[in-house]
Structure 1
């Protein structure tokens, strides 16, 4: 059996942390790691424990100050910054958001107008700007891809080799940019790139590193050395979605504007193999033809009508032990016979939810061909 412990720290705002407790007695723990999201950790402490209180009687857990990490056999599997706690005596319920969530509701304090740049590099700038502010440095480092593609942000579909006649700048400003997490998500969709954040001990085992991993065009890899098999390491036959809403042969995306001036782009499957069906996507945040076409193509790729699986539950096994796979990886899934007719398919891991007390890991997945870059 794995050995777990939960570590509490005080984030000092200068990129360092002070260890508060190396054995927080958490129960009902959930540890979440995701692609292009925040993840985090949840848990409960009960009953009240004197060692987790300060001399004045207050407990150690302070929102936007305390961080908690889940460690399994020396490997940190996840963590987050305390966002909320519910003091329902004798229970104390803790909800920690993954470190990328720190940008939520964080503002930009200067003015920067960008006419042409790499969205991935601009997203790093958001962190560099934030962590340069007093008390805002949480020690996030970068790894993985260092660039995505140069593009015109907010401009029409212009190739990098062309000279634009008009460019609408992408503006970061103290008077309008009040949520850098939303800006980060926008930049990720513009490239697009994938990201996730992990934690690990430094080489001396004296501090915890927080590493923001970038992938362009994707995170992870196709793992031919691992497998998920029902009855072997998958604990139950997964549910396959075969809803009619999962199919369309023609997609149209409607963006900003009204009437004949509305931004719109279509995407069509020329050989659907079944009756034609329409899907209309309305997104008023889309302002350029290139963005509308990209969204239409992506939606058509998702709406293939093939049976899909969104979640599987796996247990520790030599064919895919915990820690051998990461979010972003493609792994072959083998299922039992069922109405879907699916037996073998490649799935991409979009999220990992660990419940240490059950020794079962829940994976959020999707058919790999629907999200492959």
Structure 2
């Protein structure tokens, strides 16, 4: 398989180079994380140095794309360079690295006293797309990223003007008393069974979800928080815009309840299409069957959520401190994710295959579930794992698959 690498100016989308002389390339797609590409250029190339002596490949100014068999396989933004003599090492991060440390500078609001009188909150995917729209609307911020237009049944927001509830969750004796803070929605909303709370006397109940600029919200952190809370997956997608190969589509794929599929016709077997031995990890130091999540607040008012599973072993408790989380649903999701991660001992976290017909590049992707068989050693194992990423070296054809057992993931709030 022949690989070609292209460089484009990020702000103007003008081509800088159509055959970058990259070597020691390592391509790493990821599930719910940015693509990674690391490479080297050696020796010096005159057409990669500008008239002013500066590098043509500038940090946060250049896009690089990897092409094989006529298809764009991945790419991203040049974020770091290192020069040692005639060696130029490049770090290229996928376009979803762009929102990291980027704040929302204008308040984003859904619902309110007028629009919030219908419906029951905002779809998290609409929030993600709006935050990306906000970033790309700024000067020199338009990467040309597009997004899938699918949806989720989960709803974000809070009910305002609801009648106050007492400690038992019953309506307060004072019909004019308003619940403060507002009642959160933050769940999968059933339009047939879901009901608005009772309005305080003289008030109209409405929902609102707001991301205020004064909270200095980091867009990347907020997307990751929502992805855990709902939960949902996301990944980057790259493709030629058309047959002329003059432009590239960069699309954010959002998936609820998940991305990827169960690859029932593809098995990775040690000694067949897996090179070397498949490590089976059984790390008891990281085993817990109860997780307490502690969120914002202090003392007895601190937000707390716990999840547990009785499995015949001694009780092992892990405390997960997340003082930045002020939402019960988000905190419980974090605790649940941590329990799934630490509950099962046997796990396969990576294995190595070589690009060939039985496991060719393109036959599996991040997010997919695949069956891995370890037939030798102390504990022959057949385990379904979910691919969370992989490192691919085009020069050798070797693929290091990164994964974790499939039952450590939850979908759609399950």
* TM-score, scaled relative to structure 1: 0.91
Say which SS state the counterpart of residue 365 (structure 2) adopts: coil
Say which SS state the counterpart of residue 106 (structure 1) adopts: coil
Find the counterpart in structure 2 of residue 191 from structure 1: 230
CA distance in 1, matches of 2:332, 2:53: 58
Q: CA deviation at 1:274?
A: 2.3
Find the counterpart in structure 2 of residue 163 from structure 1: 196
Task: Please list, as runs of the form range in 1=range in 2, the aligned pairs for 1:174-323 lying within 5 A after superposition.
Answer: 174-177=213-216, 179-204=218-243, 205-270=245-310, 272-323=311-362
CA distance in 1, matches of 2:323, 2:100: 22
Distance 1:33 1:155, change over 3 A: farther
Distance 1:140 1:155, change over 3 A: farther
Q: Which moved more, 1:261-270 or 1:82-91?
A: 261-270
Find the counterpart in structure 1 of residue 76 from structure 2: 80
Distance 1:187 1:295, change over 3 A: closer
CA distance in 1, matches of 2:407, 2:344: 13
Find the counterpart in structure 1 of residue 114 from structure 2: none
Q: CA deviation at 1:175?
A: 3.2
Find the counterpart in structure 2 of residue 120 from structure 1: 125
The counterpart of 2:101, out of the listed 84, 100, 105, is: 105
Q: Do the aligned partners of 1:122 and 1:187 also contact (CA within 8 Å) in 2? A: no
Q: Do the aligned partners of 2:228 and 2:330 also contact (CA within 8 Å) in 1? A: no
Q: CA deviation at 1:125?
A: 0.6
Find the counterpart in structure 1 of residue 5 from structure 2: 6
Q: For 1:157-196, what per-residue CA distance to the aligned partner results, in whole angstroms no more than 9, with x for missing partners? A: 6664243579996543333335321222222222211100
Q: Do the aligned partners of 1:255 and 1:283 also contact (CA within 8 Å) in 2? A: yes
The counterpart of 2:401, out of the listed 352, 363, 366, is: 363
CA distance in 2, matches of 1:326, 1:79: 15
Q: Do the aligned partners of 2:385 and 2:403 also contact (CA within 8 Å) in 1? A: yes
Say which SS state the counterpart of residue 175 (structure 1) adopts: helix
Find the counterpart in structure 2 of residue 138 from structure 1: 143
Q: CA deviation at 1:350?
A: 0.4
The counterpart of 2:211, out of the listed 169, 172, 189, is: 172
Find the counterpart in structure 1 of residue 15 from structure 2: 19
**Structure 2: gaps (5+ residues):** 112-120, 159-181, 199-204
Q: CA deviation at 1:24?
A: 0.8
Q: CA deviation at 1:332?
A: 0.8
Which protein is bigger by CA-based radius of gyration? 2
Find the counterpart in structure 2 of residue 57 from structure 1: 53
* TM-score, scaled relative to structure 2: 0.82
Q: Do the aligned partners of 1:233 and 1:316 also contact (CA within 8 Å) in 2? A: no
Say which SS state the counterpart of residue 319 (structure 1) adopts: helix
Q: For 1:225-278, what per-residue CA distance to the aligned partner results, in whole angstroms no more than 9, with x for missing partners? A: 2121112221121222211134223222222222222221222223x0222222
Distance 1:359 1:303, change over 3 A: same
Q: Do the aligned partners of 2:5 and 2:66 also contact (CA within 8 Å) in 1? A: yes
Count matched residues.
Answer: 367
Q: Do the aligned partners of 1:156 and 1:289 also contact (CA within 8 Å) in 2? A: no
Q: Which moved more, 1:220-229 or 1:278-287?
A: 278-287
Q: CA deviation at 1:197?
A: 0.5
Q: CA deviation at 1:360?
A: 0.5
Q: Do the aligned partners of 1:65 and 1:81 also contact (CA within 8 Å) in 2? A: yes
Q: CA deviation at 1:132?
A: 2.1
CA RMSD of aligned residues (A): 2.3
Structure 1 residue 349 corresponds to structure 2 residue 387: yes
CA distance in 1, matches of 2:186, 2:233: 23
Q: For 1:297-335, what per-residue CA distance to the aligned partner results, in whole angstroms no more than 9, with x for missing partners? A: 332222223311111111112222101111100011111
Find the counterpart in structure 2 of residue 335 from structure 1: 374
Q: Do the aligned partners of 1:148 and 1:193 also contact (CA within 8 Å) in 2? A: no
Distance 1:236 1:18, change over 3 A: same
CA distance in 2, matches of 1:282, 1:167: 33
Q: CA deviation at 1:293?
A: 2.8
